Amino acid sequence: MSDEIKLVMAVIRPDKLSDVKRALAEVGAPSLTVTDVSGRGTQPAKTGQWRGEEYVVDLHQKTKVECIVADIPAEDVVEAIQEAAHTGEPGDGKIFVLPVDDAYQIRTGKEGPEAV
């Protein structure tokens, strides 16, 4: 076990969440936080029509998955997410890895990697 704590944050297609959860469990990182988000990147805007008026949807619905790791390599988590979330189409998402200065478990008072 290393003393490093990392936050792996991924923005993925909502329909790939089940695959990502399964992949994370398989690499030993079952704990995660999931948030419904919207945003835009390089994925093209979509044009639609409602009541005869044209509109542009340039903020796409995505799912943000956050996973804190200390006892397994962040690279394993990144690889699992990449493989599970990949479709090959624009809008597959992004993964970010950030350092975490410290962690505290509220119930037990544990600190650092033990709190994760």
Give 111: exposed, middle or buried? Use CB within 10 Å, 0-12, 13-18, 19+: exposed
Whole-model pTM: value is 0.85
Residue 2 φ/ψ, nearest 5 degrees: -95, 170
Average pLDDT over residues 5-16: 97
Q: How many CB atoms lie within 10 A of CB 16?
A: 20
Distance between CA atoms of residues 103 and 112, nearest Å = 5
Average pLDDT over residues 81-106: 96
Quickly state the pLDDT bin for 2 (edges 50, 70, 90): low
Q: Please indicate whether residue 2 or residue 74 has the higher confidence score (pLDDT).
A: 74
Q: What is the pLDDT of residues 35-66, one digit of tens each?
A: 999 988 877 777 777 788 887 878 889 999 99
**Is it the case that residue 1 has pLDDT exceeding 50?**
no
